[in-house]
Amino acid sequence: MKKILKITGISLLTIVILLLVAPFIFQNQIKNMVRNFINNSVNANVEFADVSLSFLSSFPQANVSVDDLKITNFEPFKDETLASVKSLSFDMSIKELFKKEDEGPIVINSIYVNEALVNLKVNKFGDANYDIAKENETSTSTTKNGEGFTIDIQDYAISKSALIYLDEGSNTKLDVTELDHSGSGTFSENISELNTKSEANVTLSIDSTEYLSNNRIKLDALIDLDLQNSKYTFKENKGLINDLPLEFSGYVQLIEEGQDIDISFENPGSDFKDFLAVIPKTYSKNISNVETSGSFKVNGKIKGKVTEETIPTLDINIASNNASFKYPDLPKSVKNISINAAVKNTTGNIDDTFLDLKTLNFKIDEDEFKSSAVIKNLTTNMLVNANIDGVLNLANITEAYPIELENKLSGIIKAKLNTSFDMNAIETNAYSRIKNNGNVSVNDFVFSSADIVNPLNISQANVSFKPGTIALENFKASTGKSDLNATGTINNLLGFLLSDQKLKGDFNVASNNFLISDFMVEGGSDRPVNQSTEPDDALKIPAFLDCTVNADAKKVVYDNLTLTNVKGKLLIKDETASLQNVTSDLLGGNLNMSGLINTKSKTPTFNMDLGMTNFDISQSFRDLDMLQNLAPIAKALQGKLNSAINVSGTLGDDFTPIMNSISGGALAELLTTKVETENAPLLNALTNKLNFIDFDKLDLKDLKTALKFENGLVNISPFNLNYKDIGITVGGSHSFENTMDYNIVFNVPAKYLGSEVNRLIGKINDNEVNKISIPVTANLTGSFTSPKVQTDLTTGVKNLTTQLIEIEKQKLINNGKDKIKDLLGVNSNSGSTTDTTTTQSSPVKNVIKDIFSNGNTSGTNTTTTTDSTNQTGNVVKNVLGGLFGKNKKKNDTIK
């Protein structure tokens, strides 16, 4: 016995060792088997991280696992991922691993898929990305080399997986997430049975209409498999759509033309709570404690063939009579609910499918709502005929149903409307086939949102529907301190609502008080006007608008500006607003605006023509930021202004210009003006440097000038003005950052340069000399609030003095050499150049002595040769001393 046990133990140990070691021995063989199968089976690029073999995990069968499997397509879906699987494993008999190539296909008993993501796609040309199987010359169960797989399933499972199906041709999309599916049975017999359990979240949309929205679906199905005839019969089947239970029976059979279907289904109960169960839990919440009354029944039959030309006939019905529901935590109930709806197709032609909503009625409090509709040609040119008659108090919706709204609604909507149209008529604006009759009114409607500063209160709005047009008969609303009163017409409301067309219309809008801040998001107006960077999220003109607005506002307030009597036309199209002849009263004058604002690009742009007449200068350049940047010095002016400005650039998130981006030009004409130097540090600085001009007495009346601005700089074309008999020329540029570089040239008559220069002129005693003037240039740099002023006055006076001396010398030469000797008292006989003492006196001699002397008045008659440059410098020194207030004598005055 011990020997038998010993042999048995050694045998078992040997088997265990072999089971542990064998996977390593056969690992390469298994990898080659998987590679060969893949290469011979699919037209796609297949990659996997590893293939492993185990004899213990599924003993007595072998388990083959493939990790990180990825399948990518060839053309026409090149490099798109068809499927990715974290792990894929197969169970099979151990003997299947040792089959030779000529011994037939390998039989697989179980398949397990974990964390798979499958992307199925059919493009607009009808190509399918999952059509990757290679065609075999032999049977479909083997490859050309005799290799292949025969499926003899005892069980299979798919866990934690997802599937996406997209058909671009029919615009159909199916999303299946959190998929768990398992089944057990066998496919080896001609007739067998498969038991499956499935659970997943399903979203289904067809042609942009979502029919299932992340609905939780469960299905337990017992299916008879007739593999010989490709017929699958549902025997005992129970499913849940959200919490709505359904039972169904019937079969699906694959035929040469497509499929033959005969399926019936219904909800086993008839409680109205089953209707609430259809609504996703996100919206319906917990319905277990909801009080309901009345019935709800859904049943249907789908029978016929699915081919390229036909679909099965449909007879699906939903009915509910005298039903009601009330949530325990809400104060109001919904009652008198009646639903009678059907989806039918009696011919098998897809175009004959229609929805017949005979009744959809309900009542909340005393407000009753009734509607009915027939919708035909669901897949082609859809025909709609609908009726609405009822009252809906918006505030009651959240008090009767647990819907969570981001913003609270209130107001009463009354509607009595019949509409009849086809989709093609809407898409082509064939208004003769669009028949609307009736009216809709809204009273005391209140809407609030994070996108607006203040709630919008619509006290009254009436819309009448007529064939081809919709008339806004009145619209009275307010928000914040602003009021609106509008009328107008809308040409294609249905096209806007149903087919993504632009909303077209013409409106007349009036307001007594309109504050721009009431329509701005909080914080937007706090951004500085001279923004240096583009905003991340600028305001946008809605792309869906294509309308004309005729505006008439008594008062419009924007920031610190108040515009009155604003009138004009606004055209909105393609995210662009065009202003046409907009006029208003502003800053004591009149404003005319034309131009456009374009928000189609990432950064909004503008191009405007502004005409200003009789503007108050100081107020304009104080309150209008753009004008203040164009001409900061102008705030020191008092009077009136006419100007024409063309300006373009980019806008910030509060629709104010980014100053460094603007370019354009301006023509300005000053009317009556007065200068107040205390309002401008620059003028005070000039006054301190040049005391021959009083800027307070500067006359700027009828002054005209031109400005050009680009890349953050304002260039002023040189212009001339006069102060008494002093000519002034101004030119230069400044930046929007307040730095400047200007030159002001003063053509100053000599008489304004002090007593010393005037004494020189008097000694020369020549009318032409009295007309002499010099240019004095003042260079202005720094900023307007902290200016730096440099002048060339010293050089100018020096040049003038030299000029006067030269004039006198030339005058003496012209009078003749002899006359000069007489005047100087020189003895012509001695030939000596030394002056002798005489009793004769010469006025010119005295003048020249004064000019060339260094202040020596001792009466010496000897003429001394001196440096004329030094003497000129002394005169200049005395002149400048007078100009700047130094060494003034009592009788020295500045003319």
Tell me the pLDDT tens digit for each residue of 298-330: 999 999 998 878 889 999 999 998 899 999 989
Determine the Cα–Cα distance for residues 242 and 236; give it in Å rounded to an integer.
20
Indicate whether 266 pLDDT > 80. Answer: yes
User: Among the listed ranges 132-146, 617-631, 731-745, which one has the minimum average pLDDT value?
Assistant: 132-146
For the ranges 271-285, 381-395, 718-732, 866-880, the lowest mean pLDDT is seen at 866-880
What was the pLDDT predicted at 146? 42
Does residue 749 have a cis bond before it (omega within 30 degrees)? Answer: no
**pLDDT tens digit string along 800-821?**
777 777 777 776 666 655 554 5
DSSP string, 404-452: --SS-EEEEEEEEEEEEEEHHHHHTT-GGG-EEEEEEEEEEEEE--TTS
Strands 514-515 and 545-558: what pairing?
parallel
pLDDT band at residue 357, thresholds of 50, 70 and 90? very high
Q: Say whether pLDDT at 857 is over 60.
A: no
The SS3 call for residue 871 is helix
| Helix (H) or strand (E) segment spanning residue 181 | strand 172-185
Give strand pairing partners of 246. Answer: 239
Residue 887 confidence (pLDDT) above 60: no
Percent over 90 (pLDDT), the chain: 15
Q: Residue 833: its pLDDT value, please?
A: 42
* Stretch (H or E) spanning 644: strand 637-650
Top-confidence range, 87-96, 688-697, 740-749: 740-749
Which single residue is written with the structure tokens 């009078």?
A: 815
Instruction: Name 401's Cβ contacts closer than 8 Å, sequence gap at least 6.
Output: 327, 330, 334
pLDDT at 467 over 60: yes
Whether the CB-CB separation of 69 and 82 falls below 8 Å is answered with no
pLDDT tens profile 69-113: 888 988 889 889 988 989 888 887 767 666 665 666 667 778 899
Task: Categorize the per-residue pLDDT at 465 as very low, low, confident or very high, splitting at 50, 70 and 90.
Answer: confident
Q: pLDDT at position 428, please?
A: 76
Better pLDDT: 184 or 338: 338
Residues 721-735 have a mean pLDDT of 83
Distances (CA, A) of 132 to 42, 73, 77, 83, 616: 5, 8, 11, 12, 80
- Cβ neighbours of residue 93 closer than 8 Å, sequence gap 6 or more: 60, 61, 62, 107, 109
Average pLDDT, stretch 522-529?
40
Q: How confident is the model at residue 20 (pLDDT cuts 50, 70, 90)?
A: very low
188-202, 389-403, 828-842: range with lowest mean pLDDT: 828-842
Q: Of 50-54, 432-436, 462-466, 758-762, where does mean pLDDT reach its minimum? A: 758-762
The residue with greater pLDDT, 128 or 634, is 128
Report CA-CA distances (Å) from 478 to 471, 512, 519, 553, 799. 21, 11, 11, 14, 73
Q: Rounded to whole angstroms, how far apart are CA atoms 454 and 514?
A: 13
Continuous segment of H or E residues that includes residue 749: strand 740-749
Q: Which long-range contacts (CB under 8 A, 24 or more apart) does 490-493 make?
A: 491/429, 491/431, 492/426, 492/429
Note whether 27 and 20 are within 8 A (CB). Answer: no
Q: Does the pLDDT of residue 852 top 60, yes or no? A: no
What is the rounded average pLDDT for all residues in the chain? 76
**Top-confidence residue, 849 or 493:** 493
For residue 516, is pLDDT > 50? yes
What does the pLDDT read at residue 160?
93
Determine the Cα–Cα distance for residues 86 and 114; give it in Å rounded to an integer: 6
The pairing of beta strand 258-266 with beta strand 637-650: unpaired
**Contact predicate 558/614, CB 8 Å:** no
Query: What is the model's pLDDT at position 299?
Result: 92
Question: Does residue 374 carry a pLDDT above 90?
Answer: yes
DSSP assigned state of 521: P
Do 885 and 894 touch, CB atoms closer than 8 A?
no
Q: Is residue 144 scored above 80 in pLDDT?
A: no
Residue 874 exposure: Cα atoms within 13 Å on the Cβ side: 12
Euclidean distance between CA atoms 29 and 37, whole angstroms: 12
Q: What is the mean pLDDT of residues 603-609?
A: 87
Instruction: Express each pLDDT in 220-257 by its tens digit.
Output: 888 888 878 888 898 878 888 877 888 889 999 988 88
In terms of phi and psi (left: phi > 0; alpha: psi -120 to 50; beta: otherwise), the region of 440 is: beta
pLDDT of 645 > 90? The answer is no
* Interval 149-166: pLDDT, tens: 555 667 889 999 999 999
pLDDT beyond 60 at 869: no
355 vs 376: CA distance, rounded Å? 6
> Is residue 836 over pLDDT 70?
no
- Judge contact between 107 and 152, C-beta under 8 A: yes
Determine the longest span between alpha carbons in the chain, in angstroms: 175
Percent above pLDDT 70 for the chain: 70
Instruction: Domain ranges for the chain, please list them.
Output: 24-169, 520-738, 757-883
* Tokens encoding 326: 């009330």
Instruction: Please state the rounded mean pLDDT for residues 175-197.
Output: 81
Could you tell me how many helices (H) and strands (E) the chain has, helices first? Answer: 15, 39
Query: If we measure between CA atoms, which residue out of 359, 354, 422, 424 comes closest to residue 387?
Result: 359
Q: Six-digit token pair at 126?
A: 């009808």
User: What are phi and psi for residue 350, nearest 5 degrees?
Assistant: -60, -30
For 29-37, what is the mean pLDDT?
Answer: 63
Average confidence (pLDDT) over 449-470: 80
572 burial level (CB within 10 Å; 0-12, 13-18, 19+): buried
**CA nearest to 350, candidates 304, 299, 384:** 304
Q: Token pair of 894, please?
A: 């500045």
Name which of 95, 84, 89 is nearest 111 in CA terms: 89
Tell me what pLDDT residue 175 has.
92
* Per-residue confidence (pLDDT) for residue 863, from 0 to 100: 39
pLDDT, position 508? 92
Name 195's Cβ contacts closer than 8 Å, sequence gap at least 6: 183, 184, 185, 221, 222, 223
* In contact, 780 and 787? CB cutoff 8 Å: yes
pLDDT at 621: 67
Q: What is the rounded CA–CA span in Å between residue 248 and residue 251?
A: 10
Residue 50 token pair:
């590893």
- Residue 41 CA to residue 121 CA, distance in Å, equals 20
Contact assessment for residue 754 and residue 883, using Cβ atoms and an 8 Å cutoff: yes
Task: Examine the pLDDT at 405 and tell me if it is beyond 90.
Answer: no
| Average pLDDT estimate for 454-469 | 84
Q: Which pLDDT belongs to residue 27?
A: 56
**Helix 817-824, helix 793-814: angle, nearest 10:** 100
Q: Is residue 50 over pLDDT 70?
A: yes
Selection from 723, 593, 701, 585 nearest residue 640 by Cα: 701
Using CA atoms, how far residue 487 sits from 139, 160, 509, 549, 828, in Å, is: 75, 57, 7, 10, 110
Q: Look at residue 733 and tell me whether its pLDDT is greater than 50.
A: yes
**Residue 589 CB contacts under 8 Å (≥ 6 apart), including other chains:** 612, 613, 614, 615, 616, 640, 641
Confidence at residue 388, expressed as pLDDT on a 0 to 100 scale: 92
Residue with tokens 């399933």: 153
pTM for the model stands at 0.58
Whole-number Å distance between alpha carbons of 122 and 130: 9
Mean pLDDT confidence for 539-560 = 81
Q: Choose the weakest-confidence range: 369-383, 804-818, 826-840.
A: 826-840
Pick 86 or 709 by higher pLDDT: 86
Rounded distance, CA 432 to CA 425, Å?
8
Q: What is the pLDDT of residue 343?
A: 92
Q: Mean pLDDT lowest for which of 299-308, 558-567, 782-791, 878-887? A: 878-887
Give pLDDT, residue 391: 93
Query: Which phi and psi (to 5°) does residue 728 adopt?
Result: -130, 130
